[in-house]
């Protein structure tokens, strides 16, 4: 697949010295839905605004369908954007909002009506075409904003936290609708969010940004199963990976051990180098057992019943470890023993956070 958008060593500094993006290398394939995710202030919107031409990079280059973006004015980039705050014209009806881009392109009135009504039907907003945006709910307004993009059908679709203002129940529905729309009409898309669940469910690939740097780009499975960095491991999942800082100890004639405070676990893998390290285990990758049988013993501080499973918070020394289990006979303040499922463990360099 050829690339639609390609960032090469792109940096952006805002005066006087805010480094919003640092040496970004990133490619969006033609027709791909890429989600850019990261915490507040990591540079997500800046990345999108560079593609849209609303900002210029300080260093590096961005190619859009093979052309250097500095040679393309924003209106020549053939892209559309959906924002969190909808950005609809308040004085225009829903129809006029959706038709706006087509009118600018001087399409004929019958053609415009056909396109607007077709998309409005798909988005189930046909009955609102005569209303003004302030006569609609947040979810309906977001559909209008999406509809406005879809009727123009630009080659690149940019989304800046479009579901951020919607209540959680409504978001799940919109998520699957966005995924369906992309399947039906696969345009090259960048979707920005700080919500890891949204990234996992929507992205064909996910780019994780942290402090202006790309930490990992991969499919949702790669990001979840093989996080390249402790930050990625802790960011994805609900809750994320439990990280335990400790060290690997090797002694002649004894099994290699992982130690952290009172925790001492013999390791099945003797190849681990001695020294400081961080062990990461997802909440669903612990095995619970009777207090004498596991390798770590702690006290159950809290049990949350989430219907199909329970989320247990245990305290071991001053560590909190979260465990997901389908067992129901779990009681707060009781002792519990847990063992990591080693084949699903993650190891990170203690001081850089990089995966080993």
Torsion of CA 241, 244, 245, 250, to 10 degrees: -120
- Residues 257-266 as b/e (b if ≥16 CB within 10 A, e otherwise) read bbebeebebe
Q: Pairing relation of β-strands 296-305 and 242-249?
A: unpaired
For binding to ligand ATP (CB under 6 A), which residues are involved?
Answer: 14, 18, 20, 38, 40-46, 194
CA 229 vs. chain centroid, Å, equals 15
Nearest distance, CB of residue 43 and ligand ATP, angstroms: 4
* Comparison of 171 and 194: residue with beta carbon closer to ligand ATP: 194
Nearest distance, CB of residue 129 and ligand ATP, angstroms: 32
* Comparison of 64 and 208: residue with beta carbon closer to ligand ATP: 208
* 164: its two tokens: 């951020």
* Comparison of 54 and 70: residue with beta carbon closer to ligand ATP: 54
Q: Pairing relation of β-strands 188-193 and 33-37?
A: parallel
* Comparison of 14 and 351: residue with beta carbon closer to ligand ATP: 14
Name the residue among 46, 52, 45, 44 with its Cα closest to residue 12.
46
Nearest distance, CB of residue 114 and ligand ATP, angstroms: 37
158 vs 304: CA distance, rounded Å: 38
* Comparison of 46 and 314: residue with beta carbon closer to ligand ATP: 46
The position carrying tokens 């619970």 is: 288
Nearest distance, CB of residue 84 and ligand ATP, angstroms: 8
Nearest distance, CB of residue 199 and ligand ATP, angstroms: 13
Nearest distance, CB of residue 79 and ligand ATP, angstroms: 18
* Comparison of 96 and 195: residue with beta carbon closer to ligand ATP: 195
* Comparison of 12 and 141: residue with beta carbon closer to ligand ATP: 12
Return the beta strands (E) in the chain as ranges: 3-14, 18-29, 33-37, 59-64, 67-68, 79-83, 156-160, 188-193, 205-210, 213-218, 242-249, 257-260, 263-266, 275-281, 286-289, 296-305, 310-316, 319-325, 335-340, 346-349
Nearest distance, CB of residue 220 and ligand ATP, angstroms: 20
């Amino acid at each position: 697949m050829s690339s639609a958008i390609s960032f090469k060593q792109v940096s952006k500094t805002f005066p006087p010295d805010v480094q919003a993006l640092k040496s970004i290398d990133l490619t969006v394939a033609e027709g791909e839905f890429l989600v850019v995710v990261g915490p507040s202030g990591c540079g997500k919107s800046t990345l999108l605004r560079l593609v849209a031409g609303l900002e210029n990079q300080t260093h590096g280059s961005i190619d859009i369908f093979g052309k250097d973006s500095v040679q393309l004015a924003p209106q020549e980039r053939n892209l559309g954007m959906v924002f969190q705050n909808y950005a609809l014209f308040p004085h225009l009806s829903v129809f006029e909002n959706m038709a706006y881009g087509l009118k600018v392109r001087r399409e004929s009135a019958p053609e415009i009506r056909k396109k607007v009504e077709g998309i409005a039907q798909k988005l189930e907003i046909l009955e609102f075409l005569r209303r003004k945006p302030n006569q609609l709910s947040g979810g309906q307004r977001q559909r209008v904003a999406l509809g406005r993009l879809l009727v123009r059908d630009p080659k690149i679709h940019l989304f800046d936290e479009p579901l951020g203002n919607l209540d959680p129940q409504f978001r799940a529905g919109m998520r699957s609708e966005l995924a369906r729309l992309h399947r039906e009409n696969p345009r090259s898309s960048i979707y920005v969010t700080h919500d890891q669940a949204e990234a996992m469910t929507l992205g064909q690939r996910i780019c994780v940004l942290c402090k202006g740097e790309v930490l990992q780009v991969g499919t949702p499975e790669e990001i979840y199963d093989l996080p390249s960095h402790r930050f990625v491991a802790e960011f994805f999942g609900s809750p994320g990976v439990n990280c335990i800082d400790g060290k690997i100890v090797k002694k002649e004639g004894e099994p290699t051990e992982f130690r952290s405070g009172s925790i001492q676990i013999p390791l099945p893998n003797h190849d681990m180098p001695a020294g400081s390290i961080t062990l990461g285990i997802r909440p669903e990758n612990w095995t619970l057992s009777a207090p004498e049988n596991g390798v770590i013993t702690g006290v159950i501080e809290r049990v949350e019943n989430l219907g199909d499973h329970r989320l247990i918070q245990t305290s071991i020394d001053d560590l909190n470890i979260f465990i997901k289990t389908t067992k129901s006979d779990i009681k707060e303040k009781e002792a519990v023993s847990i063992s990591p499922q080693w084949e699903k463990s993650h190891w990170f360099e203690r001081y850089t956070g990089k995966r080993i």
